[in-house]
Amino acid sequence: MSDRQLCVLWRLPRQPIPAGALVLSFLAPALECELRKRAQVEIVSARQRSLKVRADAVESYKEISVRIGLARDEEGRTFRSVLANPGECSRWWFHLTSFKDSEGSPVLEWTIAILVIRQLTLERGLTRLHLCGASGRVAEVLRMQFPVTEEAPRPVSGAARLFVRGILSRLKFMCATAWVGWMARRCTANPGRHWDVAFTGFYDESLGWDAGRQILRDRYFKDVPDLLEQRGRRTGWFVWLKPPFNSLAPFRLMRWLAPLRTSDRVVALQRWVGIREVVAASSSFGDFLVYVQWARRGRFGEVFQWDGVDLGPIYHETLFYHFLSSAMVHCRLLVAANRRATAATQPAVTVSYLEHYLNSRALYEGVRRAGVDTVCVAMQHATVNREKTYYYLHPRFEYSGEPDGCAVPHPNHVCAMGELGQALFLQWGYAREQVTVTGCARFDYIGGLRERQQASPERATARTAPKLRLLIAASLADDVEIDLVEAVGLAAGGLEGFEVRLRKHPWSGLERHPRFAQLARRIPLSSCPLEQDILEADLVLFTYSTVAAEAFVCGKPTWMWSPLGHDASALAEVVEVPSFFTVDDLREALTAFQRDPARFRPTASDIYRATSQLFGPADGGEARRIAARLESFIGAKERTN
């Protein structure tokens, strides 16, 4: 390696790094600790350097995703308009890239890595790169800018492999959907007519059977349906059936569907699409062929240029695969099912808890096509910030559909969790009268939790323990959160007086991550209720999880392990929380915390700001306010009729 070369590591190199070399580390915490111990080199943390480029990377991701839909051919047609039939929304809105899924796609993470490398080379005057363990797509972009040598590159999925994966995805989806739909038509009841409100979700992720109370219970909307029923309103659910097991087992599937057999309040959406329709949708490759034709045009490649860098290679894999995979097929069937369910039940209002997600876009489009003058409402289901790109809509080009009339399907009204959510939805194109701060029914316990903590601020429990309890709050992003778990395990491992507990997301598979096996003995998984975990914690550590925001508004010291990619933490956007980039810095801070935990508690003003910005009033009245808003839409429709 020359002194004009930057060594960029995602893995440890096989050969020793020469003394005096400059290393940019994208390594996992354990590997970076090992490197710092054995190598006499200057190591720059990519986590820390990413702070300088994140805003630019996020902006590029949002802008390029918008540009793709607006790309024009020789006849002046936009790409997204070519993907639309008369009277229908563009099918572009059902592609993962239009959703800007920063967690389901690596594009934003790769963009951040490229910009970090580029900025550091410019700052230090470096002209050559040595990459160890780099993604093939990242290396492809960097080779256009620098002479590059590579070691242990990650393989790139070629077109043939992506094609096979996409076809297999469709086949699996087609078989499962056709079979579950056939069973649903035999094991679920026909819906009643003339509903007032149709809630939407998944059985049994959001809507499930409460065996103790022998009732259907919605984990997101909670008491909202009951409050409306008490007012004499008829409510029900449109649900996509998601068996938590191999759905081909008929008797198990029948038992799972048993709670829906006699309920006319639940529409199983699969029953509204026939087997022929499922096969036809799964066999349609027109949109994929349109993309292939456009991708060959030189003008189409111009949309991927950003500040002199061609980012096309990191976008085309996602574009290619998701025009082939089952995701767009799923949305096409959801549109048809929601249209028929809406026409059958004629609700005054539909309510989604997934805002701008692809399945919610399919709901809004299906409701519109039903033509029954139904109001679509979205309840914000989690905290949001500016780097959660999958919420973002460009106010002119996406929300309003300029200049081609291809607007993204979106709700008529949003029940925002807090003031930050309200402000962002307004920035994304909604009018002020379309966004109301109600709080989220899912978080209706926050007010009571704060009261319990305030009643006994030292420890809101009778538990006595000689050790300080560290709670690791992990989100669904397992590949991001494993770095947090590993860093905390390393930092606290050599310190006496700490007890570490991991609370993972209910749908996460973090405990099955290959790197977790070495940590499992030191960091047990929590089996306690969420409220108990928060109240018993002395310190909460997080990267993305909303649990950290809940703990913060209860007065708990809350620290952040900074991610390598984008920052999806809304808490860190509204208040300043300690952030850490290296294990050594985290260990030093834990030592200081051990000496004086009280010094790290959030201030009353920060707690108030975080509460109002993220959760709204947080007084336990979330469901009541949402029900009142829905009631107003029902009343307005009754008056017009």
For every residue of 591-630, DSSP letters joined together read HHHHH-GGGGSPPHHHHHHHIIIIITT-SS-HHHHHHHHH
The topology under which CATH files domain 447-615 is Rossmann fold (3.40.50)
Mean pLDDT of the chain: 94
In angstroms, rounded to a whole number, what is the distance separating the alpha carbons of residues 12 and 32?
Answer: 8
**Would you state the pLDDT for residue 169?**
97
In angstroms, rounded to a whole number, what is the distance separating the alpha carbons of residues 206 and 496?
Answer: 41
The topology under which CATH files domain 167-271+332-441+623-640 is Rossmann fold (3.40.50)
| Site of tokens 């491992």 | 493
In angstroms, rounded to a whole number, what is the distance separating the alpha carbons of residues 364 and 424?
Answer: 20
**Would you state the pLDDT for residue 458?**
58
**Would you state the pLDDT for residue 15?**
86
H helices of 558-603, where? 571-574, 583-595
Half-sphere exposure of 460 (CA within 13 A, CB side): 20
**Would you state the pLDDT for residue 494?**
82
**Would you state the pLDDT for residue 285?**
97
Residues paired with 198 in a beta bridge? 236, 350
Q: Is the pLDDT of residue 1 over 70?
A: no
Instruction: Categorize the per-residue pLDDT at 577 as very low, low, confident or very high, splitting at 50, 70 and 90.
Output: very high
Which string of DSSP letters, residue by residue, matches 28-60? -HHHHHHHHHH--SEEEEHHHHHHHHHHHHHHH
Q: Per-residue pLDDT tens for 41-99?
A: 999 999 999 999 999 999 999 999 999 999 999 999 999 999 999 999 999 999 999 99
**Would you state the pLDDT for residue 189?**
86
Q: Which segment of 69-73, 506-510, 621-625 scores lowest on mean pLDDT?
A: 506-510
Give the residue-averaged pLDDT of 218-222: 97
Phi/psi at 349 (nearest 5 deg)? Answer: -140, 140
Q: Per-residue pLDDT tens for 433-482?
A: 999 999 999 999 999 999 888 876 655 444 455 789 999 999 999 999 99
Q: Is the pLDDT of residue 2 over 50?
A: no
Instruction: Categorize the per-residue pLDDT at 3 as very low, low, confident or very high, splitting at 50, 70 and 90.
Output: low
Contacts within 8 Å (CB) and 24+ apart, 227-233: 227/623, 227/624, 227/627, 228/196, 228/197, 228/627, 228/630, 228/631, 231/627, 231/631, 233/196, 233/197, 233/631, 233/634
**Would you state the pLDDT for residue 250?**
86
Residues paired with 473 in a beta bridge? 503, 542
The reply to whether domains 167-271+332-441+623-640 and 447-615 share a CATH topology is yes
Pairing of strands 539-542, 468-473: parallel
303 secondary structure, DSSP code? G
**Would you state the pLDDT for residue 640?**
86
Q: Are 382 and 391 in contact, with CB atoms under 8 Å apart?
A: no
User: Which H or E element spans position 636?
Assistant: helix 622-640
Q: Which residue has the higher pLDDT, 227 or 215?
A: 227
Instruction: Categorize the per-residue pLDDT at 249 as very low, low, confident or very high, splitting at 50, 70 and 90.
Output: confident
User: In the chain, what percentage of residues exceed pLDDT 70?
Assistant: 98
Enumerate the domain spans of the chain. Answer: 167-271+332-441+623-640, 447-615
Phi/psi at 306 (nearest 5 deg)? Answer: -145, 110
In angstroms, rounded to a whole number, what is the distance separating the alpha carbons of residues 135 and 452?
Answer: 48
Q: Are 97 and 321 in contact, with CB atoms under 8 Å apart?
A: no
Give the residue-averaged pLDDT of 187-202: 91
**Would you state the pLDDT for residue 462?**
40
Cα Rg, the chain, nearest whole Å:
26
Q: Which residue has the higher pLDDT, 114 or 521?
A: 114
Q: Is the pLDDT of residue 277 over 70?
A: yes
Give the residue-averaged pLDDT of 228-238: 97
- Which residues lie below 8 Å from residue 495, measured CB to CB, with a gap of 6+? 587, 590, 591, 594
Q: Per-residue pLDDT tens for 372-385?
A: 999 999 999 999 99
Residues in the chain: 641
Instruction: Categorize the per-residue pLDDT at 638 as very low, low, confident or very high, splitting at 50, 70 and 90.
Output: confident
Q: What is the pTM of this model?
A: 0.94
**Would you state the pLDDT for residue 460?**
44
Q: What CA–CA distances, in Å, run from 42 to 29, 38, 45, 586?
A: 16, 12, 10, 20
Q: Is the pLDDT of residue 4 over 90?
A: no
User: Which H or E element spans position 360?
Assistant: helix 358-370
